[in-house]
Amino acid sequence: MNAPEKLKTPSRSASELTCIVRVNEEIKSIVATAFRINLMALNAIFLAKRAGNAALGFGVLSNELRRFAQDLTRHMASLRDMTSGSVGSVTGVVQQQRNSAILLQAIRLSGDGVPGVREARKRGAQRLAEQHGRLRALDQRLRAAVEETQQLVELGGVLARSAKIEAAYGGGFSPALMQVSTDFAEVIAQIKRSLEVLGKERLVKD
Amino acid sequence: MKQAHCIYQNDDHRWLAIARDASKPGYLIDTNEYVVMDGDQALLCDPGGIEIFPAVFSALSAECDPTTLAGIFASHQDPDIISSLALWLEFKPDLKCYTSWLWQSFLPHFGGSESTFVPIPDPGMTIRLGSLELQAIPAHYLHSSGNHHLYDPKAKILFSGDVGAALLPPDQGGLYVEDFTRHIRHAEGFHKRWMGSDRAKRDWCERVSRLDIDMMVPQHGAIYQGADVQRFINWFAALEVGVLRG
């Protein structure tokens, strides 16, 4: 006999797995950036302290940016948990599709009259529908979480812009504070781009 | 294409051999599957790998109602023995899989849940099928560390897993061993390499010599019958095993 025909359906799930890999890569990149913001904020706090009264506002904003970086890290950890769960669901779909397709091939070879095959196919279709349902629910949760993170990053953007304004009042430290606030704005823009990519990814193709 | 051959029948008590598939892809080792049937119950011995599931299912369905499958006997854990487990369970979720206790937590990687597996203790056990009392016979380290064969005292058939296996050339595609001397040349290298323990081999030879066997049915190659069974046991007892070459 020939080995079971190569199946088209699992390749769709394979692309869903590739999508999860892409999502994970974006999450990793955002986590690394959040870590960088945290360090930058710590440096900014020290710089503001050295600048004294002229940089009081800048110091407050640096503290807020540090908190923002910590919140962002937490958000990304929960996103990563979701994608880990989705790997399990996608794998379940791949296995079910493969099993159903091989069973179908066996049924074709055996003829339609074999007892029990209709029930077996019905059970398989039901399990597949359940697994697809779970994956769809995960996809929705992931999208909602990305939107929530986007709102958080908007706040980060506002903080970075305010820091830039405060830097202008930094007296002799103004150029250094301006440089730090520009760096904040750049990394937050980078996070925004990553979140846009994440927002476009779909674990389930319609 | 695989076909089921009836190798024993006494009323409702039958043994089917789904053996020697000349049309399977060359990169897969050829395997034999056996079905023991009694009344309205059937047991499938070493159902084989995922790749050959459609052929085995189809051959089995041609000769018996697959919904009568009550269980699967897995002599050991290898992929060519039991990697199709998930597919059989896809067809019949309540199937029981009898296998050495040693593999009870390994085989679920192929499929099945806690309720699927019936662990066979090291000394073996009785497996009831219809009115039959099949005996799981210990064959540990031949070649797997948790390994059993299946003996049907009524039919006098011993399913011997990898023991007795021969990697036969395509021109020797017969179901039964016809010329023992010619046949055993194709079994020698396999047994030397795959059977790891001389002591386990001697134990097995003594154990099965006490059984009344008309047919010894291996998982690869042709079936031994009549005097060839004892001839094989004697040959195996004298063979140096657990060696790369020589």
- A102 interfaces chain B, CB cutoff of 8 Å: yes
pLDDT score recorded for residue A12: 59
Whether residue A11 is predicted with pLDDT greater than 60 in this model: the reply is no
Q: How, if at all, do strands B96-100 and B69-73 pair?
A: parallel
d(CA A163, CA A187): 14
Instruction: Give B90's contacts in chain A (Cβ within 8 Å).
Output: 99-100, 103, 120, 123-124
Using DSSP's 3-state secondary structure scheme, residue B44 falls into strand
pLDDT tens digits along B29-68: 999 999 999 999 999 999 999 999 999 999 999 999 999 9
- B51/A3 CB distance under 8 A: yes
Residues of B in contact with A91 (CB under 8 A): none
Give pLDDT, residue B183.
97
- Sheet with B132-138, side-by-side order of all strands: B125-129, B132-138, B148-152, B157-159, B215-217, B224-225
CA B17 to chain centre: 10
Reported as a single tens digit per residue, the pLDDT across A167-203 is 999 889 999 999 999 999 999 999 999 999 988 888 7
Report the C-alpha gap between B138 and B125 in whole angstroms. 9
Confidence at residue A13, expressed as pLDDT on a 0 to 100 scale: 60
d(CA A167, CA A58): 6
Output the CA–CA distances (angstroms, integers) from residue B54 to A109, A111, A159, B2, B98, in the order listed.
7, 12, 63, 10, 22
Whether the pLDDT of residue B16 is over 50: the answer is yes
Q: Residue ranges of the domains in chain A?
A: 8-200
Tally of residues, chain B: 246
pLDDT at A5 over 50: no
pLDDT computed for residue A92 by the predictor: 86
- Give residue A28's pLDDT: 87
Q: Who wins on pLDDT, A3 or A21?
A: A21
Those residues whose C-beta lies under 8 Å from the C-beta of residue A200, and which sit 6 or more positions away, are none
- In DSSP notation, A77-146 reads HHHHHHHHHHHHHHHHHHHHHHHHHHHHHHHHHH-TT-TTHHHHHHHHHHHHHHHHHHHHHHHHHHHHHH
Asked if the C-beta of B86 comes within 8 angstroms of chain A's C-beta atoms, the answer is: yes
Instruction: Please check whether the domain covering A8-200 is classified as CATH 1.20.1270.
Output: yes
ipTM: 0.82
Q: What is the pLDDT of residues A76-104, one digit of tens each?
A: 888 888 888 788 888 888 889 889 999 99
What is the Cα gyration radius of chain A?
25
For the segment A145-177, what is each residue's pLDDT rounded down to a tens digit?
999 999 999 999 999 999 999 999 988 999 999
| B15 contacts chain A (CB < 8 A) | no
Nearest to B149 by CA among B133, B134, B138, B165: B138
Task: With CB atoms and an 8 Å threshold, state whether A106 touches B65.
Answer: no
- State the Cα–Cα distance between residues B234 and B59, nearest whole angstrom: 34
- Whose tokens are 């296995």? That residue is A95
Alpha-carbon span B224 to A80, nearest angstrom: 58
Position B194 pLDDT exceeds 90? yes
Contact B7, B215 (CB under 8 A): yes
Quickly state the pLDDT bin for A2 (edges 50, 70, 90): very low
What residues of B are in contact with residue A106 (Cβ under 8 Å)? Answer: 53-54, 57-58, 87
Token pair for B126: 């009785």
Average pLDDT over every residue of B76-93 = 96
For chain B, domain boundaries: 4-238
Mean of the per-residue pLDDT values for chain B?
95
Q: What are the tens digits of pLDDT across the range A114-152?
A: 999 989 999 999 999 998 898 889 889 989 999 999 999
Question: Domain spanning B4-238 has what CATH number?
Answer: 3.60.15.10
| Chain B, nearest residue to A111 by Cα | B58
Lookup result for tokens 């019949």: B92
Residue A1 pLDDT > 50, yes or no?
no
Of the candidates B145, B142, B137, B159, the one whose C-alpha atom is nearest the C-alpha of residue B36 is B159
